[in-house]
Amino acid sequence: MKSILKSLGVAILGGAVVLGSYKVLFEPETNKNLETSPATSLITTPVTYNEDTAALTGTDFTEAAEKTVHAVVHVKNLTVSRGNPTMQDFMYGRVPLRQSIGTGSGVIITKDGYIVTNNHVIDNSRALEVTLNDNRTYPAEIIGTEPGSDIALIKIEVDEDLPVVAFGDSDQAKIGEWVLAVGNPFNLTSTVTAGIISAKGRDLNTTDQTAQSFIQTDAAVNPGNSGGALVNNRGELIGINTAIQSPTGSYTGYSFAVPSNNARKIIQDLMEFGFVQKGMLGISGGALNGRFAANEGLSSAEGIYVSEVVDDSGADKAGLRKGDIISVIDGIQIKTFADLSGYIGSKNPGDRVNVTIMRDNKQKTLSIEITKNNTVSIPELDMDFRDMTPDERKQYGIDKGALIVGTRNELAKTDLAGYVIVKVNDLEVENVDDLRGIMSRAQSNQRLILEVRNPQGVTERWRMTVD
């Protein structure tokens, strides 16, 4: 991973984002151990529920498996990391390197070779290799990644049409519905397991305050399944298998998938823009619990309590107020902040949603425009940034720079939120777009010197190496 000088001496991560969790409202949670071309269009089919699949008897998975298994691929990732130096390495100033190969799965989503997988499957890649179900092997290139959602888009070049999995509507998936997990666990290619959807809107994020939203199933998923397909009994893609909950590292009962609506939105943005456009409702808040509802004299203990409305956001313009309770968005019940952030995460800036709220024990519906969330993830730095406001520029005494609002992986243990990057290797950083452009041109193992302004207004210099 990226290495920053230990002399930074920073504290534990405490940055919060606009759609962060309002922890005072939360019930205590248990820690989880997780393993963790513009012209191209994605094939989409609507999800319908005409047939009765309530009982296992008579349910036939063969058609769904046949539709899916040929479009799920085996992904091999060659990575190079620093090894443990020997005395000779110290004497001669050498940096020992160690090669390793990781494996996972991917899902073909277009006939010309676009494949969706997990970001952690292809992270730190020096070379990618994709093996199809018929054992043909191709080199692959990375088109784009969204580390915060653990989704990546890669592509292989082929001379013929490939089998694909059509997207279903994950919002319409039901708890108790039968699903298949298709992937390559333990390098066992083309493996299909079955289970039911155990829960939706499951938040597994224990490292920061960014709410996630996963589909939880009891279909057996093991190492190597990451990036594979979660499909319903019609063979429609409703999720990308991502994580398991396990004390051993192997499947012990629960697995988790990124909902297909969120994955599809990320993929379309990566294809069209090269990065993910993030939208926001424009509130801070948290899920209600019985104790808080009783203390506040609320008639309902379910929904999202709005603790703050962001100025000039869509929520602000639509008239949402502090103290409102969000219960439904576009006909979908909202019980947890993960439900809310997951649904908003599938929308683009400019989209409108119908939000049902309770205010003074009266129900009201507001039409709210999703506004642009200016937070941008830059994977080369494992950090999230946004442009500075005029007040922040005045506070820091600078007229340029990209403000750090969050860090991930090893850096998530340190508090870098509030620092501003103003130069990279003497190249001026006017804003986040400048920084993103500079880092996109950085070479693997390139050493960088970052000129940074800390929250006290003091200039620091950080040295780091791009993996």
Q: Cβ of 205: how many Cβ atoms within 10 Å?
A: 17
| Options 226, 246, 260, 341, the catalytic residue | 226
**Distance of alpha carbon 76 from alpha carbon 386, whole angstroms:** 34
**Which residues on adjacent β-strands are paired with residue 333?**
328
Question: Looking at residues 326-331, what average pLDDT do you find?
Answer: 95
Look up residue 9 and give its two tokens. Answer: 């001496």
Question: Looking at residues 433-455, what average pLDDT do you find?
Answer: 88
Residue 55 confidence (pLDDT): 46
Each residue's pLDDT tens digit, 106-157: 999 999 999 999 999 998 888 999 999 999 999 999 999 988 889 999 999 9
Residue 243 confidence (pLDDT): 87
Residue 211 confidence (pLDDT): 62
| Options 74, 105, 120, 171, the catalytic residue | 120
Q: Cβ of 50: how many Cβ atoms within 10 Å?
A: 4
**Would you give the DSSP letter of residue 294?**
H
Q: Which helix (H) or strand (E) holds 368?
A: strand 362-369
> Has 226 been annotated as catalytic?
yes
Question: Which residues are within 8 A (CB) of 243 and not within 5 positions of it... i.e. 6 or more apart?
Answer: 34, 35, 36, 150, 204, 214, 226, 255, 256
Question: Which residues are within 8 A (CB) of 425 and not within 5 positions of it... i.e. 6 or more apart?
Answer: 448, 449
pLDDT above 90 covers what percent of the chain? 50
Residue 412 confidence (pLDDT): 58
Each residue's pLDDT tens digit, 208-252: 445 678 999 999 999 999 999 999 999 999 999 998 877 777 777
Residue 43 confidence (pLDDT): 54
| pLDDT band at 405; cut points 50, 70, 90 | confident
Average pLDDT value for the chain: 82
For tokens 């500075």, the residue is 388
| Options 21, 125, 150, 171, the catalytic residue | 150
**Which residues on adjacent β-strands are paired with residue 75?**
104, 130
| pLDDT band at 57; cut points 50, 70, 90 | very low
Altogether, the residues listed in the chain come to a count of 467
Prediction pTM value: 0.73
> Has 260 been annotated as catalytic?
no
> Has 74 been annotated as catalytic?
no
**Residue (of 34, 22, 28, 27) closest to 337 by Cα position:** 22
Measured CA to CA in angstroms, residue 105 lies from 122, 242, 245, 405 at distances of: 10, 10, 18, 31
Question: Which residues are within 8 A (CB) of 180 and not within 5 positions of it... i.e. 6 or more apart?
Answer: 61, 64, 65, 68, 192, 193, 194, 219, 229, 230, 231, 232, 233
Q: Is the pLDDT of residue 186 over 70?
A: yes
Question: Which residues are within 8 A (CB) of 420 and not within 5 positions of it... i.e. 6 or more apart?
Answer: 388, 396, 398, 401, 402, 403, 404, 452, 453
Q: Is the pLDDT of residue 315 over 70?
A: yes
Tell me if residue 245 falls in helix, strand or coil.
Answer: strand
Q: Is the pLDDT of residue 30 over 70?
A: no
Q: Is the pLDDT of residue 2 over 70?
A: no
Q: Is the pLDDT of residue 416 over 50?
A: yes
Each residue's pLDDT tens digit, 151-175: 999 999 999 999 999 999 999 999 9
**Distance of alpha carbon 114 from alpha carbon 264, whole angstroms:** 12
**Which residues on adjacent β-strands are paired with residue 116?**
107, 153
Each residue's pLDDT tens digit, 259-312: 999 999 999 999 988 888 889 999 988 888 888 777 777 777 789 999 989 888
Q: Is the pLDDT of residue 465 over 80?
A: yes
Residue 410 confidence (pLDDT): 62
Tell me if residue 276 falls in helix, strand or coil.
Answer: coil
**Distance of alpha carbon 436 from alpha carbon 452, whole angstroms:** 16
DSSP readout, 152-202?
Answer: EEEE---SSPPP---B--GGG--TT-EEEEEE-GGG--SEEEEEEEEEEEE
| pLDDT band at 4; cut points 50, 70, 90 | very low
Give the residue, 405 or 357, on which the prediction is more confident: 357
Residue 95 confidence (pLDDT): 67
Q: Is the pLDDT of residue 411 over 70?
A: no
For tokens 């008897």, the residue is 57
Residue 133 confidence (pLDDT): 94
Question: Which residues are within 8 A (CB) of 59 and not within 5 positions of it... i.e. 6 or more apart?
Answer: 53, 178, 233
| pLDDT band at 24; cut points 50, 70, 90 | very low
